[in-house]
A and B are shown apart, each in its own frame.
Chain A
Amino acid sequence: MIPLPGSRVITLLLAVLGLALAPLRAANKEINLFAWSEYFPQSVLEGFSKETGIRINYETFASGEEMLAKMLAGGTAYDLVQPPDYIAEALIKNRLLVPLDYTKLPGVKNILPEYLNMAHDPEQRYTLPYMVSTVGIVVNTERVKEPITGLVDLFSPRYAGRIVVVDDARELVTAALYVLGYPLNEINAKNLAEARPLLAQWMKRIKLYDSDSPKTALLNGDVDLGYVWGGEAARLWAENPKFAYVIPKEGAHQFVDVMAIPQGAKNIEAAHRFLEYLLRPEVSKAISDEFPYTNPNGAARQLLTPEQRANPASYPPGDRKFGTFRHLGETGAMIDELITDLKNAR
């Protein structure tokens, strides 16, 4: 949607309409938040309600695709959603998000510039970054003495049967594309055909696939290496520093979970107030205390303890540049079919 001068009027009309349709729901006294489960500390939600008198209905999902499916079916009018970047991009393309009103969000100055105007929302019109995470290699350094610097080391035959990988077709294909030297979003029949034999070889050496909690198998000692979400790695490191985190030398990408207001939202005003609240350094720090992802809020990072900042999975040392996933249209199905086919061959 283009921010026309009349958009406020439309907002107002929508709010009035919402009021008429849901007489029990006091306007702007309640927010329907649809977000990843376990991503908002209880204290943050309660603090906001105490300060503003606005209640938050926190509804959760466990994957971005789950969110998309439920949101598109339209059972509930959400005021705020929390998609990963590549889904936000698709939502923007399909005009399903409401532009943000930055006059109400002065706290945006706290966000570090590298997390603004990213590919999924180049004009930073619809989304605000919430937390960031990379995907990389975890090494149990007590069991694996050789240096691991990249994906080629990880998938070498000597570690066959000792690797856990997130159960995500696109992650696997991305790893293969990095090794072959292709950009991570260049997914086409030719590149996939080249990736196929490499993946077939790798997948024979993987002990298990787990997206929900890959850290479990590492902690249990059933596997010694992993290709996992940075958040998982950060928790492993915090539990025991023998779990080193390595950004693969071939390349790595990062996810940005963003906050956005979907079309059909009824309490846009209250949603902005909550967003501004989340931008406060002390609130953002409270989130980092509980969930050790990469915090894009520069002012909040200043408040973190040295240990928090030393976590290599939350704040990878060095000045690596990361890629981000772009929304895939039809080609997404090709990836899924390739991985299903390869798994099936076992």
Chain B
Amino acid sequence: MHALADTAPAHGGRRAGVVAWLLLAPLALWLLLFVVVPMAGLVVYSFCQRDDLGRVVYDFSWENYARVFDPIYLKILGRSIGYAALTTVICIVIGYPVAWYIARQRSPLRERLLLLVMIPFWTSFLIRTYAWIAILKSEGLLNGLLQFSGVVTAPLSLLYTPTAVVIGLVYAYLPFMILPIYGSAEKLDNALVEAAHDLGAGPIRAFSHVIIPLTWPGIAAGIMLVFVPAIGMFAITDLMGGAQVPLIGNVIQNQFFRARNAPFGAALGVVFTLLFILTYALAHRRRRATTA
């Protein structure tokens, strides 16, 4: 969790004057209108009731919050966080060397490689996911290859398993790890790496003592950009995992659509968002304390 706050600078710099505030005004206004106001609406909803059509009835009650802390929903949240964390770790392991390698290339080539990382995602996720299904299905590409090469005799059951879910999640989020790490690695000065070597550091020591700390802002940003959205993801996991287990994203969506219980969905959303804000703020404070 520490990483979440690491992306934000510990507020240094000079105090903001009138001009600085004016420059920030569009952003602040945008956040107020399109983030704070909808969130306020969400909070209001979460204390309401609904009529049988699913419309919100303004009738105060704590009932929805009492339900949120039912162990069912806590377990679902825990599972979602687990999948997101696993995805993030795998993305770092796979993505870091790629980002590093791309950043070491010469200028036009590295921008082009960066673009090539992202282009596969310019098709609809549904079409991409169906392509994965074609690869992983029991009579699919991968099983065909494995059987042809004699690695397995009977087709493996890959699709609709937790493995498939993780493959789908890693595939979807990998670029969001590679890109920010690239941003940090690209500015890294070779002289530093060289200096580490001159001081007698082997590659591993140079990596863990020099390169990792220097690219840490990129890794932290990557964790933020992968881990946070991955918690709420469910469309890909449903298609590739067979929707056998609920995740927090489906549960919230189902309250609005299937169960037509917007107030309860709102309560889940509020708790979910608050939990995130709290973690973020705590990590941020700790970081400020350590840098101070």
Contacts and interface: CB of A to CB of B under 8 A. Distances in A.
B101 interface: no
Contacts of A94: 51, 53
B137 A221 contact: yes
With a 10 A CB-CB cut-off, give which of B54, B138, B245, B255 has the most chain A CB atoms. Answer: B54
Contacts of B134: 220
A183 interface: no
A261 B260 CA distance: 22
Interface in A119-144: none
Contacts of A340: 72, 76, 246, 251, 254
Nearest to A330: B52
A336 B246 contact: no
B258 A336 contact: yes
Contacts of A337: 72, 259
A68 B54 contact: yes
A344 B76 contact: yes
A328 B51 CA distance: 11
Contacts of A209: 238, 242-244
Contacts of B251: 340
B261 interface: yes
A168 B258 contact: yes
Interface string A178-207: 000000000000000000000000000011
Interface residues of B, number: 35
B244 A346 contact: yes
Contact of B244 (A90, A328, A329, A343): A343
B159 interface: yes
Nearest to A329: B52
Contact of A222 (B51, B54, B160, B245): B160
Contact of B139 (A216, A220, A336): A220
Interface in B36-63: 51-55
A337 to B, nearest CB: 8
A188 B239 CA distance: 31
A346 B256 CA distance: 24
A153 B256 CA distance: 34
Interface string B91-103: 0000000000000
Contacts of A210: 238-239, 242-243
A243 B244 CA distance: 24
Main DSSP-derived SS at the B contact region: loop
A336 B259 contact: yes
B78 to A, nearest CB: 11
Contact of A343 (B54, B130, B246, B261): B246
Interface in A304-346: 327-330, 332-333, 335-337, 340-341, 343-344, 346
Contact of A220 (B76, B133, B239): B133
A336 B254 contact: yes
Contact of A72 (B52, B55, B257, B258): B55
Contacts, number: 96
Contact of A221 (B139, B239, B254, B259): B139
B258 A65 contact: yes
Interface in A87-117: 90-91, 93-94
A216 B130 contact: yes
B244 A333 contact: no
B262 to A, nearest CB: 8
With a 10 A CB-CB cut-off, give which of A93, A169, A337, A344 has the most chain B CB atoms. Answer: A344
A336 to B, nearest CB: 4
A344 B72 contact: yes
B257 A66 contact: yes
A343 B258 CA distance: 16
With a 10 A CB-CB cut-off, give which of A169, A216, A335, A336 has the most chain B CB atoms. Answer: A336
Interface string A22-60: 000000000000000000000000000000000000000
B2 interface: no
B245 A208 contact: no
Contacts of A346: 244-245
A69 B258 CA distance: 11
A208 B244 contact: yes
Contact of A208 (B242, B255, B260): B242
A294 B134 CA distance: 31
Nearest to A336: B259
A204 B146 CA distance: 29
Contacts of A169: 254, 258-259
28 contacts: A65-B257, A65-B258, A68-B53, A72-B53, A72-B54, A90-B52, A93-B53, A94-B51, A94-B53, A169-B258, A169-B259, A209-B242, A210-B242, A210-B243, A217-B160, A220-B133, A220-B138, A221-B137, A222-B137, A222-B138, A222-B160, A327-B52, A333-B259, A336-B254, A340-B254, A343-B245, A344-B246, A346-B245
Q: Which 8 A-B pairs have the closest CB atoms?
A: A208-B242, A329-B52, A65-B257, A336-B259, A209-B243, A220-B137, A208-B160, A333-B259
